[in-house]
Amino acid sequence: MSKSHSQVVQGVIIDGTGADPYRGQIVIENGTITQLQKENPADKQASAGISNEDEIIVPGFIDLHCHGGDGGDFSDGTEAGARSAFLHHLAHGTTGMVATTMTLPRDQIEKTLFQVDRFRLAHPAGEMVIGVHLEGPFISPRWPGAQNPEHIALPSAEWLREWIAQYPGLIRMLTVAPERPGAEEIIRLAAENGIVPACGHTDASYEHIRDAIGWGLRHAVHCGNAMRGLHHREPGTLGAVLVHDEISTELILDGFHLHSAMASLILKAKQDQVCLVTDAIRASGMADGAYTLGGLDVEVGGGCARLGNGALAGSILTMDQALRNLVQGQQLSLPEAIRYITAIPARIIGASDRGTIAVHRRADFVVLDSGTLTVRRVMLGGRWLDEP
Ligand SMILES: [Zn+2]
């Protein structure tokens, strides 16, 4: 994986903005895009039509919510756990990862921060790390989902302050239940420190969410899942998320977490304020069977992961599978669909050097097979990943 000084990548380009595909060349220097050349549109070759033999170059995928894969979980707090999870999703096209923790004891969260930071600084693929998403422990015991209720804690600005001081810039998103005591202080602290404050695993009323927007709340995790639902006289968390443009959100499109009509409704309501995430666990890329998640037992079968009580326990998705599900389930064109896993999540998390194919952006690309939408090659910072 040596970094060559200057190189050219050419093919059919979908740039992540939703614009039509074009044939062209991307010039890369030191891992950054320095020039884009469109072929002459008068040339027949340059017309937008994609043939089945074509390879398509799209921006690397960005996952704001992912716990693990290939047997590893970021929350293991081990070097091997983090490495397996990062490299599994990188091979499936995720070149921008927000490693997501669970509701865990404080020392376990700190081990996870340590290992993600170490991967970021020491591993050749470390530049895929955007940061950490703390999903818990500051959530509602009424909506634990697959989080371990034993370790739920009240929002603690003191913990967050210490973590920010110890790992400056590493934490990029914080999920909190805004109705819990201490939520206002921690949401304000997060927002002041460049951390996206998100609601999730929450029993918040419509009014709670409206108030929390005033404190800086900007995002909602896995829309529809583990949040107070929508009623026509009590819009709940879900109603507040749908109606407020200040709040972005995310969809787990695995065919289990959401009815396809709800996914359509959320996509319509949120426009470019919704992205796809995997919420993947260590079983992603592994055989069916028994696994653990945040210390709880999980059974994986038939494409879905559940706790013993039947609660959904994350997913076994990868971003390329989520893309295929979006294109097939929602009848979107490929350029429209690509936005939800590239430009939109990059904007939500504030990763301004990622998410589109444009001059000055990182040279992170996925080459897709135009027929199957499977990943053929991945480039991270100007380096092609080694062929499998
Ligand atoms: Zn969750």
Distance 382 CA to ligand 1 centre (A): 33
Distance 138 CA to ligand 1 centre (A): 12
The pLDDT tens digits of the residues spanning 139-191 come to 999 999 989 999 999 999 999 999 999 999 999 999 999 999 999 999 999 99
Distance 250 CA to ligand 1 centre (A): 11
* Residue 223 clears pLDDT 50, i.e. is over it: yes
Bridge partners of 62, per DSSP, are 96
Token pair 């006289």 is found at 233
Q: Are strands 32-38 and 72-73 parallel, antiparallel or unpaired?
A: unpaired
Dihedral sign of CA atoms 300, 306, 307, 310 in order: negative
Distance 319 CA to ligand 1 centre (A): 17
The pLDDT tens digits of the residues spanning 297-324 come to 999 999 999 999 999 999 999 999 999 9
Q: Enumerate residues 6+ apart whose C-beta is below 8 A from 346.
A: 62, 96, 352, 354, 355, 356
Token pair 């069977």 is found at 289
Alpha carbons 15 and 277: distance in angstroms, whole number:
19
* pTM for this prediction: 0.95
Backbone angles phi, psi at 47, to 5 degrees: -65, 155
Distance 243 CA to ligand 1 centre (A): 21
* Residue 52 clears pLDDT 80, i.e. is over it: no
* Residue 48 clears pLDDT 60, i.e. is over it: no
Q: In 10 A of CB 239, how many CB atoms?
A: 18
Residues catalogued as catalytic = 279
What mean pLDDT comes out for the span 9-28? 96
- Amino acid letter, residue 302: G
Dihedral sign of CA atoms 106, 110, 116, 120 in order: positive
Which H helix or E strand runs over 112? helix 106-122
What mean pLDDT comes out for the span 55-80? 97
Q: What 3-state DSSP class applies to 197? A: strand
Q: Enumerate residues 6+ apart whose C-beta is below 8 A from 165.
A: none
Alpha carbons 153 and 144: distance in angstroms, whole number:
12
Distance 135 CA to ligand 1 centre (A): 7
Bridge partners of 69, per DSSP, are 72
Alpha carbons 194 and 208: distance in angstroms, whole number:
22
Q: What is the pLDDT of residue 54?
A: 80
* Residue 230 clears pLDDT 70, i.e. is over it: yes
Q: In 10 A of CB 240, how many CB atoms?
A: 26
Q: Are strands 94-100 and 296-301 parallel, antiparallel or unpaired?
A: unpaired
Q: What is the pLDDT of residue 44?
A: 54
- Amino acid letter, residue 157: A
Residue 117 near residue 110, CB atoms below 8 Å = no
- Amino acid letter, residue 44: K
Q: What is the pLDDT of residue 41?
A: 63
SS3 content of the chain, % helix, strand, coil (to 5): 30, 25, 45
